[in-house]
Amino acid sequence: MTDEQARRRFAMARIARLATADAGGHPHIVPMVFAVANGRDAGADTVYSAVDAKPKRSTSLRRLANIAANPRVAVLVDHYADDWHALWWVRADGTGRILDTDEPEARDAIARLVMRYPQYREQPPHGPVLAIDVARWSSWSAAGD
């Protein structure tokens, strides 16, 4: 699939998996909801997610600590079907940044998330916000498109 098809499929997905690693390279992967926007640089894409009110074991999230220690991340969206001709995946590799909710970029990201997910309309994410500046898109499709 083309980069444009990959971006479109990625942006339409409802959930992704965020892969981070700590300073020692120990991996950590979690599901996340997200929104995609044109990034800070012309033509660059940024994937946003935010800490929300869903129950968590701790408020000290490993994904945030990992990004502070090692900002290189990957975000994966995939589609599974029993018809294996319909399988595909798209991965965004990039650099993660942690934004305070008082920053304009973070407020914009939260607004995008609220528009995308009805659950956030009643209880918007409280942050912090994770911004991933995409450096590379990778994709595969069983259909070859």
pLDDT digits (tens, 9 = 90+) for 20-43: 999 999 999 999 999 999 755 555
pLDDT attached to residue 3: 85
Domain carrying residue 86: 3-141
Q: What is the mean pLDDT of residues 104-126?
A: 94
Number of structural domains found in the chain: 1
Question: Is residue 1 pLDDT above 90, yes or no?
Answer: no
Contacts of 32 (CB under 8 A, 6+ apart): 15, 16, 17, 18, 49, 75, 130
User: Which structure tokens are listed for 124?
Assistant: 């918007």
Q: Residue 94 belongs to a domain with what CATH number? A: 2.30.110.10
